[in-house]
Structure 1
Amino acid sequence: METNKEETISKWKRLKDSNTIKVFIAIVLVCLFIYFFVYQTLSFIQLRYQNSQLNEELVELRNTNEILKQDIEKIQTNQYIEETARERLGMVKTNETPIQVIEEKPYKMEEEALAPERKMNIYMDEWYKGLIAWFKEEKG
């Protein structure tokens, strides 16, 4: 049993002395370094992408905010209030005479006013009449 133990110890010493363990440890360390380096790099790239998207969104929101501020300033002017009162409420000043323009819709022809399936029936009727006339000419 001691020889078996001594052989195991001698094998371990040979393995320890050989470069196999050193190479294995070096490979594991390199793999770990590459893994963490790649992971950190990908995380960094992802964060930069998110940062650029958020910056674009921020610029859009600032532009929208500026437009809304301009709209608020415009709405608070007397000219806008007067235009809105005239257009939406039909108000006029005391010395003005209101004029109302009524637009007439153009008359639609009967065929244009029909539904598409009704139009097809009209055309089919004409086609059948033409077909019947042709058969009569051929027989007669």
Structure 2
Amino acid sequence: MKKKIKFKNVILLFIIFYACYVFVNQQITMYKIKQQISQKNLEELKVKDQNKKLQDEVKMSKSDMYIEKLARERLGLIKPGETPVINTKR
């Protein structure tokens, strides 16, 4: 006694497999998108931190003390009465 495979059953089985495939594929895609979102959030935090540092540096660069510090370090300027010290190790 052979059972005949009905055409309806084959179509139904195909639909079930296809639905499972689509579901699994969507889950994989959602996982990848969540990973990308978390990575972009980390990048955003790093950029915000860097932006804050740069804003602080801009504020500080407008002060007289910072300008004096740069003049001493980069240009080697000294105040009257000071003894210059030359650092040869770099």
Q: Percent identity?
A: 30
Structure 1's unaligned 5+ residue stretches are 1-17, 104-140
Of structures 1 and 2, the one with the larger relative CO (CA 8 A, separation 6+) is: 2
Aligned residues between the structures: 85
Let me know the Cα RMSD of the aligned residues: 2.1
Match of 1:12 in 2: none
What's the TM-score, normalizing by structure 1? 0.54
Task: Flag the structure with higher helix content.
Answer: 1
Match of 1:36 in 2: 22
1:59-98 → structure 2 map (5 Å cutoff): 59-93=45-79, 96-98=80-82
- The whole-number CA distance in structure 2 between the counterparts of 1:45 and 1:26 is 29
Deviation track 1:77-128 (CA, whole Å, cap 9, x = no partner) reads 11010122223323344xx31312367xxxxxxxxxxxxxxxxxxxxxxxxx
Letter in 2 for 1:88: R
Deviation at residue 22 of structure 1 after TM alignment: 2.1
What's the TM-score, normalizing by structure 2? 0.79
Larger of the two Rg values belongs to structure? 1
Structure 2's unaligned 5+ residue stretches are none
